[in-house]
A and B are shown apart, each in its own frame.
Chain A
């Protein structure tokens, strides 16, 4: 019995030791922030960071919604989830005056319809979903359009994101519709197109779409630009391409949940991330473009000119940002089930 008491006491020691310090709970996407940045923040401010990760907006939303955000202080939703969470009163307003580094943000990414005046969200990074391929197996001219995915030589050789909105989004694009379409007939047409793509799809990757490309299991497919950037660091033959119909774009923002317990620390963290040096570090590590104009100005030429991270303004214009589709998600999900049951 005594032994147990000793062990219990030992387990309690770390809990007690940290009780007096300031703590910040950060909830972010996987592989979305380098450890160095977190350590630097801890050293600078003395605030302990407890960092946890999620792999989809939906699972983040379910947790934040159920607790009203108690337990998380900074979260990184994508545009259409900022919109949804703001509407539902889940977010706490952010005082721009307390963010000394707010001025570094790129005005092009501010004051968007999903959060007018950026009252509740501060953009973190932005990126795209487009084509990637392995130059050893695929000639660049064979990957110019979303339609190229249907080429017969890619039979059983494609990787796709395991994401209903993005995969059916490609189907919508090639039928000439918006990726945010809510018309059930259009979604059905998208589903029929993707169903004819199924023989080419080798894997739907939910955790890391770069892996099948690095494993040589897939020769091409649809990936996020940051994944393609990271893959090319290890394996330069992997190339990213913006399809002529336009890529799918998104912005991920930093928000503070309404019931967050450490709001002051959260503001300090957001301001720290907005420091150009830190935004630069983030970009070098994850390969997504920072929403930070000053940081982009400071970048070495090769990073600034990397088309994987910074698309041509023309490509951005052609592309589309995802928004919330409301109840149409049920229609999407219905066709997704059919797709994956081969019906």
Chain B
């Protein structure tokens, strides 16, 4: 084994061990616990049961899931609407300016998103920065109600997740051959037609990747709706947390986690199915 191979083995081994210990093992434990029975003093106990999966079939939980899906779906659409033009202009910016612009997208990531969420509270509260400015400028006579509304939740979610949309879109748009667009124009296509028939189909893998990368984390960021929306709606994340902590019902919380996991696997499956078909149709 030469040094290079040794390093390769080491790197792969380290990663695999890490994932096995801290991702796979806890995940399997959650799956296991979901089939056990609630116990007030040991959290879970024998016998095995499917009751918790049966309990999940309840209109209340369907509503919890729907709330989460609606937030995630709308956030994804908003990110796409804002992120696509942004990524387009970023990819068309002069080469020497692009690193700077990309940096500006990434820099907010250097701070914890929880802290950035608190910063949004300071901006939006009734006696916060935005309202102070609006009142001082005489544009409004009463503070505008921004915090603890749905709009505030979307501001928070889009703000936190936008880079996950921009970066994959930028990656595909930057690689796109400019000559294809020129050819389309030469053949008489207008700007709109160029976009619909050339740019959009070519950027579809980026769109899909961006949507997945926004949609899935949006399901889990329950602290943003809690802090900015006032915790009035229960989302999947709150629900699981409450089952584990308040109700002490670990098996039920685990069953809900497993269900969420399966849902995400299905969505990823659809993504891979579409993208492989797309790649094949590109090749032919």
Q: Which A residues are within 8 Å of any B CB, using their own CB?
A: 56, 58-59, 62, 65-66, 88, 162, 164, 198, 201-207, 211-212, 215-217, 326-327, 329-330, 333-334, 336-338, 340-343
Contact = CB atoms under 8 A, between A and B. Distances in A.
B230 to A, nearest CB: 3
B59 A206 contact: no
Interface string B121-140: 10001111000000000000
A164 B234 CA distance: 13
B41 interface: yes
Nearest to A330: B247
Given A162-B231, A333-B247, A343 B125 contact: no
A326 to B, nearest CB: 7
Contact of A204 (B61, B145, B230, B246): B230
Given A216-B127, A216-B143, A326-B40, A340 B249 contact: no
B232 interface: yes
Nearest to B229: A203
A203 B148 contact: yes
Given A59-B245, A330-B247, A341-B63, A215 B234 contact: no
Contacts of B246: 56, 58, 164, 329, 333, 336
B233 interface: yes
B161 to A, nearest CB: 22
Contacts of B227: 207
23 contacts: A58-B248, A65-B43, A201-B230, A201-B232, A202-B148, A202-B230, A204-B230, A212-B148, A215-B121, A215-B126, A215-B127, A215-B147, A216-B126, A217-B125, A329-B247, A337-B60, A337-B61, A337-B64, A337-B239, A340-B238, A341-B234, A343-B60, A343-B63
A240 to B, nearest CB: 21
A182 to B, nearest CB: 14
B230 A203 contact: yes
A215 B125 CA distance: 6
B275 interface: no
A56 B126 contact: no
A206 B226 contact: yes
B276 interface: no
B113 interface: no
B92 to A, nearest CB: 40
Given A56-B245, A88-B41, A216-B127, 13 more contacts: A66-B43, A203-B231, A205-B230, A206-B231, A207-B227, A211-B121, A215-B125, A215-B128, A216-B126, A216-B143, A336-B246, A337-B239, A341-B234
A334 B243 CA distance: 10
Nearest to A66: B43
A65 B44 CA distance: 12
A173 B233 CA distance: 24
Interface residues of B, number: 35
Contacts of B53: none
B16 to A, nearest CB: 21
Contacts of A56: 245-246
B244 interface: yes
Nearest to B228: A203
A65 B43 CA distance: 9
A204 B248 contact: no
Interface in B180-201: none
A88 B43 CA distance: 12
Q: Which 3 A-B pairs have the closest CB atoms?
A: A203-B230, A340-B234, A215-B125
Contacts of A343: 59-60, 63
Interface string B95-122: 0000000000000000000000000010
B23 to A, nearest CB: 19
Given A88-B41, A215-B126, A62 B244 contact: yes
